[in-house]
Amino acid sequence: MRTIDAETIDRVLTRADMVAALRAGFAEAMVTPVRHHHTLARAGEPTAMLLLMPAWSDTAETIGEDAVMGVKLVSVVPGNAARGLPSVVGAYVLMSGVTGEPLAVIDGSRLTLWRTAAASALAADHLARVDAQRMVMVGAGALAEHLIEAHTAIRPIREVRVWNRSLERAQELAAKFADRAFTVTATDDLEGAVVAADLVSTATMSSDPVVRGAWLAPGTHLDLVGAYTPKMRETDDTAIGRARIYVDTRAGALAEAGDLVQPITEGRITAADVVGDLADLCRGTVAGRGGAEEITLFKSVGTALEDLVAARLVWRRVAALG
Q: What is the pLDDT of residue 264?
A: 97
| Pairing mode of beta strands 102-107, 88-96 | antiparallel
**Three-state DSSP class for 70?**
strand
Which phi and psi angles does 169 have, rounded to 5°?
-65, -40
Q: What is the pLDDT of residue 43?
A: 87
Q: Where exactly does CATH 3.30.1780.10 map onto the chain?
A: 2-111+305-320
Q: What is the pLDDT of residue 89?
A: 87
- Reference 142, options 55, 65, 78; nearest CA is 78
Q: What is the pLDDT of residue 62?
A: 52
The model's pLDDT over 265-301, given as tens digits with 9 standing for 90+, comes to 999 999 999 999 999 999 999 999 999 999 999 999 9
Q: Which stretches of the chain drop beneath a pLDDT of 70?
A: 59-65
Rounded Cα–Cα distance for residues 189 and 193 (Å): 6
- Reference 247, options 88, 72, 57, 119; nearest CA is 119
Would you tell me how many other CB atoms lie within 10 Å of the CB of residue 318?
18
**Three-state DSSP class for 17?**
helix
Which phi and psi angles does 90 have, rounded to 5°?
170, -170
pTM equals 0.92
Would you tell me how many other CB atoms lie within 10 Å of the CB of residue 58?
13
Would you tell me how many other CB atoms lie within 10 Å of the CB of residue 41?
8
Distance, C-alpha 110 to centroid of its chain: 13
- Correct CATH for 128-302 of 3.65.10.10, 3.40.1280.10, 3.40.50.2000, 3.40.50.720: 3.40.50.720
Rounded Cα–Cα distance for residues 29 and 18 (Å): 18
Rounded Cα–Cα distance for residues 105 and 9 (Å): 12
- Reference 199, options 236, 169, 156, 142; nearest CA is 156
The model's pLDDT over 216-228, given as tens digits with 9 standing for 90+, comes to 999 999 999 999 8
Rounded Cα–Cα distance for residues 22 and 279 (Å): 10
Q: What is the pLDDT of residue 185?
A: 98
Q: Where exactly does CATH 3.40.50.720 map onto the chain?
A: 128-302
Q: What is the pLDDT of residue 297?
A: 98
The model's pLDDT over 14-26, given as tens digits with 9 standing for 90+, comes to 999 999 999 999 9
Sequence letter at residue 193: A
Packing angle of the helix pair 15-27, 142-154 (nearest 10 deg): 80
Q: What is the pLDDT of residue 306?
A: 97
Phi-psi region of 100 (alpha: psi -120 to 50; beta: other; left: phi over 0): left
Q: What is the pLDDT of residue 59?
A: 65
**Domain 2-111+305-320 class in CATH:** alpha beta
